[in-house]
Amino acid sequence: MGSRIEIKNWSYRYPLNDAWAVEDLTLNVAAGEKVLLTGRSGWGKSTVLQAIAGILGSADEGGESRGSITIDDTPALQARGRVGLILQNPESQVIFARVQDNATFGGENLGVEREEILTRTEEALHTVDLDAEHGISPQRLAQHLSGGQTQRLAIASIMVMRPDVIICDEPTANLDPDGVQCVVDAIADAARQTGATLLVVDHNVQAWDGIVERRIALGEQVDFEDYAGRYASTRPHGPKALEAQNLSFGYAGEPLSYPLTTHFHTHEVTAITGVNGAGKTTLSLTLAGLLPALAGEVRVSDAIRADLPSAHPSDWDSHQLAERIQYVFQNPEHQFVTNTVLGEMESALRISHPELAKDEEELAYKAKERLAYYDLAEQQAQNPYSLSGGQKRRLTVACAIEAKPKILLVDEPTYGQDPRTWLTLVKMFAKLRDEGTCVITVTHDRAFIDALGARELVIPARTYDENHEDKDTRVDSPSRIVARLNPLTRFFTGLLVGLPLIISLDVVSASVALGAILVVLLALGFSPKKLALYTWPMLIGAAGSFLTVIIHNAQHDPVLASATAIRVLAMSAPAVVLVMGIDPTDLADAFVQKLHLSDRFVYAALAGFRLLPLLKEDLECIHQARTIRGLHTRSKFRQLFSDALSILILAVRRSTTLSLVMQARGFGADVQRTLVRISRTSALDWFAYALAVAIPLLSLGVAYYSGSMNLFGNLI
């Protein structure tokens, strides 16, 4: 059943900010009502939604709030779990590795009965078309879902919670048209099935026609108009600026689409379109010279190449690239290189106006003038990370434009823009085109394409044959027997096998133990090749220990050196081989259920662990952004320092967003958390423990009876 939302004279100011993000807002939404909230970028819509969800405004955050927000007369801070929050970035809402684990998370946190959670999860995944009927296994890795599917997974998680209120912060951003429709339909179904009140923030007003009952504008209400063809070019395109010949593009040697041959011209805007996952962003990075082509080539015209020895952008250094090509990344935060909005614009102007680099006053004056043109003058002293999503996008596009490139590539230029700033961007791109710039955009915005009369280049999704890798395959141990063991058993038996060997320094005990371990591992189904693959670092370490003893031991004793090397392998190899392939989620469940560690600590650490691959991708994007902005340095120390600072900032921001998502799903609620995944032990686990104890006892016993046992350096 839906709940009433009542906001009375509410204001909020973030820590260390002088300006109020939201000031004196009064808003009422009736129970069960469906409302669309619009307004200009930067008006604090996301801030309002987070406060309604009860994850913003507590005293320990350091921010300042006034007025009140209540859910059925209960303060929003005390109603956490009754409000389901869906954010604009699907990737940021993935907490665990697998589809089902993400869907059940909210229900577990609220203490819903296990069987009820499983029933709700099955129904929710079916509603959002993420069940077996639609080709999606509950065990599928969430990272292999498309953007639209990932957003629908977040909706399913909210549905399992059965909230009284569902709030959505631009849930259709960056999705292809089919993805938008699927997400909108899924949210509408979720609201209908749960009876929840629905409050949506979205600039894509037309997508919600027939679903919302009322529209509320924060600040001045502005509407999209039909600008089809109004800013189309009135002249033919100019000469060729960039060409792709039999271009194959992708990652790690895996092509994402079919080989492409096409040309891009001056005085022309080209829109690269296609479904999510077709490879549009990868293509644009390859065209910009930021990713190498898998095959074929990308060449610029002789006019753009000028006196450079190569016509291939991927061969150019950072400064050569920045003067000719600019690229705007999909995530604006990857592109920031200074700590103020003004500094970002000054960095761009140094590329197009090198003469201003020696006149700081004139540079600052020019930068302020350009920021005013882009409606960012009031934010010039702010840290760019503190801007709203739409303002961040506008700043990165503005800086790329002001660098005056010959070729401009922009990934999703209009997401997060209100009608006023959207039209400003359309006019800017039209002006650039008419001035002779070759403009290439990756976009799903049909109105943007039509307004500019852009040439459209559709990238088809690559179809894979039946032998293509199954994305539902769960990675685990190559041994089916080891895979059946509890994760804690695998963790501790690997340690138990080797630890007792530390007490004896003889070659006999180490050799017997290593031989027994190899026999057991081979019997369990590990091939010699797989063992070598898992243990090669240990082999190198063993060889190093052998050489160290031979060189530094006074007697240069080869027997002692051999004993040391074999012991290194016997102690480390089983631990590494047994833990390889352990599912982190299963291990976390075992820590909580078997060792009774704090579930808040363990699952928070598990969610944080998932961020590591994302931070690796962030670092790659940061390097690309610095290259395209002419800031790549050859100094390893400066690059290391810059990388560390940038990754630290992005890690904090990703962690903060993840924390918000987890809190919005009821994590940390004052109820007994339900355990959907049960961590079990069996007779096989106890046999494994017995075997782990028996092997070192056998090896030490053989050494003792052979007279070679060397207890801490003393023969027995």
Furthest C-alpha separation in the chain? 96
Asked, for residue 477, whether it belongs to a domain, the answer is: no
Please say which residue of 204, 225, 246 terminates a domain.
Answer: 225
Same domain membership, residue 486 and residue 433: no
Same domain membership, residue 111 and residue 55: yes
Residue among 628, 505, 526, 614 nearest 570 (CA)? 505
Q: The pTM is what? A: 0.79
Residue type, 712: F
Distance CA 320, CA 318 (A): 6
Torsion angle (degrees, nearest 10) of CA 558, 559, 565, 567:
-170
Q: Please give the pLDDT value at position 29.
A: 92
Same domain membership, residue 247 and residue 200: no
Asked, for residue 597, whether it belongs to a domain, the answer is: no
Q: Please give the pLDDT value at position 607.
A: 86
Distance CA 8, CA 71 (A): 12
Stated as kind and residue range, the H or E segment containing 498 is helix 487-498
Distance CA 526, CA 579 (A): 13
Distance CA 663, CA 666 (A): 5
Q: Please give the pLDDT value at position 471.
A: 47
**CB neighbour list of residue 8: distance below 8 Å, 6 or more residues apart:** 26, 67, 68, 69
Residue among 21, 443, 33 nearest 200 (CA)? 33
Give yes or no for a contact between 25 and 218, defined as CB atoms under 8 angstroms apart.
Answer: yes
Strands of the sheet with 64-71, listed across from one edge: 22-29, 5-13, 64-71, 74-75
Same domain membership, residue 262 and residue 218: no
Summary count for the chain: helices (H), strands (E): 23, 21
Give yes or no for a contact between 142 and 96, defined as CB atoms under 8 angstroms apart.
Answer: yes
Cα angle vertex 361, ends 356, 363, to 5°?
35
Asked, for residue 675, whether it belongs to a domain, the answer is: no
Going 337 to 341 to 346 to 349, the CA torsion angle's sign is: positive
Q: Please give the pLDDT value at position 225.
A: 66
Q: Please give the pLDDT value at position 467.
A: 40
Pair of tokens at residue 258: 């079919």
Distance CA 650, CA 617 (A): 11
Same domain membership, residue 270 and residue 231: yes
Asked, for residue 380, whether it belongs to a domain, the answer is: yes
Question: At 101, which CATH number?
Answer: 3.40.50.300
Please say which residue of 167, 197, 225 terminates a domain.
Answer: 225
How big is the chain by its Cα radius of gyration, in Å? 30
Distance CA 187, CA 193 (A): 10
Asked, for residue 17, whether it belongs to a domain, the answer is: yes
Please say which residue of 206, 225, 244 terminates a domain.
Answer: 225
Same domain membership, residue 216 and residue 237: no
**CB neighbour list of residue 466: distance below 8 Å, 6 or more residues apart:** none
Distance CA 637, CA 153 (A): 42
| Residue 526, number of CB atoms within 10 A of its CB | 21
Residue corresponding to tokens 């940390």: 668
Same domain membership, residue 164 and residue 43: yes
Secondary structure class of 241 (helix, strand, coil): strand
Q: What is the 3-state secondary structure (H, E, C) of 261-303?
A: EEEEECCEEEEEECCCCCCHHHHHHHHCCCCCCCEEEEEECHH
Same domain membership, residue 368 and residue 355: yes
Same domain membership, residue 438 and residue 521: no
Q: What is the pLDDT of residues 644-675, one digit of tens each?
A: 877 888 888 888 888 888 888 888 888 889 99
Question: For the chain (length 716 residues), average pLDDT per consecutive 10?
Answer: 90 84 90 88 82 80 86 89 86 88 93 94 91 87 82 91 91 81 89 91 86 80 71 91 93 81 95 86 93 93 93 92 92 88 93 86 93 90 86 90 94 83 88 94 91 93 49 66 92 87 82 91 90 88 86 74 86 88 90 91 87 82 84 70 80 84 86 91 95 91 84 57
Distance CA 404, CA 414 (A): 20
Q: Please give the pLDDT value at position 92.
A: 83
Asked, for residue 637, whether it belongs to a domain, the answer is: no
Number of domains in the chain: 3
Q: What is the pLDDT of residues 177-228, one digit of tens each?
A: 888 888 899 899 889 888 999 999 888 888 898 899 998 877 655 556 678 8
Asked, for residue 72, whether it belongs to a domain, the answer is: yes
Secondary structure class of 366 (helix, strand, coil): helix
Same domain membership, residue 357 and residue 255: yes
Same domain membership, residue 155 and residue 56: yes
Q: Please give the pLDDT value at position 292.
A: 92
Distance CA 310, CA 13 (A): 52
- Residue by residue, DSSP assigns 165-219 as EEEEESTTTT--HHHHHHHHHHHHHHHHHHT-EEEEE-S-GGGGTTT-SEEEEES
Domain that residue 535 falls in = 482-581+684-706
Residue among 618, 601, 572, 588 nearest 679 (CA)? 588
Asked, for residue 411, whether it belongs to a domain, the answer is: yes
Q: Please give the pLDDT value at position 473.
A: 46
DSSP character for 312?
-
Residue type, 180: V
- Residue by residue, DSSP assigns 13-71 as E-TT-SS-SEEEEEEEE-TT-EEEEEE-TTSSHHHHHHHHTTSS--GGG--EEEEEEEE
Same domain membership, residue 392 and residue 511: no
Q: In whole angstroms, how far apart are CA 401 and each of 322, 351, 429, 565?
A: 12, 11, 9, 61
Distance CA 583, CA 97 (A): 9
